[in-house]
Amino acid sequence: MAAADTRAPDRSRSGRDRILDAAYGLFSRSGVRAIGVDTITARADVAKMTLYRNFASKNDLALAFLALREERWTRGWVQAEAGRRGDTPAEQLLAIFEIFSEWFERADFEGCAFITSLLEFEDRADPVRQACVTHLANIRAFVCELAAAAGVADPEWFAGQWHILMKGSIVAAHEGDATAAQKAREMGVLLLAREGVAVPA
């Protein structure tokens, strides 16, 4: 996965794109609430008025960031890379942890923006929190599809378990455990075996 771009903004791009790119790098690493509008506009090299002309509020910018995170991280990286690495649904499920293992060892490992942002917004009715819940549910839906294709009897329940392994390994990596994904993969093999799904050696 490409690291967040910290180079000077490309002034040939629109102000909106520069703002969103700046927010992507900042929010991914530090969360939404820790980053102020002044920091975003300075990174994007735009006036504050330009930000508010494109986004009604910082929270609206956060929602756009989360949507872009799903496009780049969930679909563009995790799902695409799992599909590239695994020939069968079981192989693709286990490939998630292989991808994570490499991610956790990176110096620019930034964690899951959906989890980080979810924990920042305590109000369950907050649109940013609700968006995080939706994006996390979309990840589970992807896992559920793979589980169903693998012949798991209750793919939704299985997807919930698998997602706990995914989220837990990310939190453990934040603690400094670079082997967290390998441990999660071993537990994943046990879950698949319990379902009678053949797994790669």
List the alpha helices (DSSP H) in the chain: 15-30, 37-44, 48-54, 58-69, 80-85, 89-104, 113-120, 127-150, 155-175, 180-194
pLDDT in tens, 8-26: 555 668 899 999 999 999 9
Domain ranges of the chain: 63-194
Distance separating alpha carbons of residues 91 and 96, to the nearest angstrom: 9
Nearest to 58 by CA among 2, 124, 120: 120
Amino acid of residue 24: Y
> pLDDT by residue for the chain (201 residues), tens digit each?
544 544 455 566 889 999 999 999 999 999 999 999 999 999 999 999 999 999 999 999 999 999 999 999 999 999 999 999 999 999 999 999 999 999 999 999 999 999 999 999 999 999 999 999 999 999 999 999 999 999 999 999 999 999 999 999 999 999 999 999 999 999 999 999 999 998 876
Helix (H, G, I), strand (E, B) or coil at 85: helix
pTM: 0.90
- Does CATH place domain 63-194 in 1.10.357.10? yes
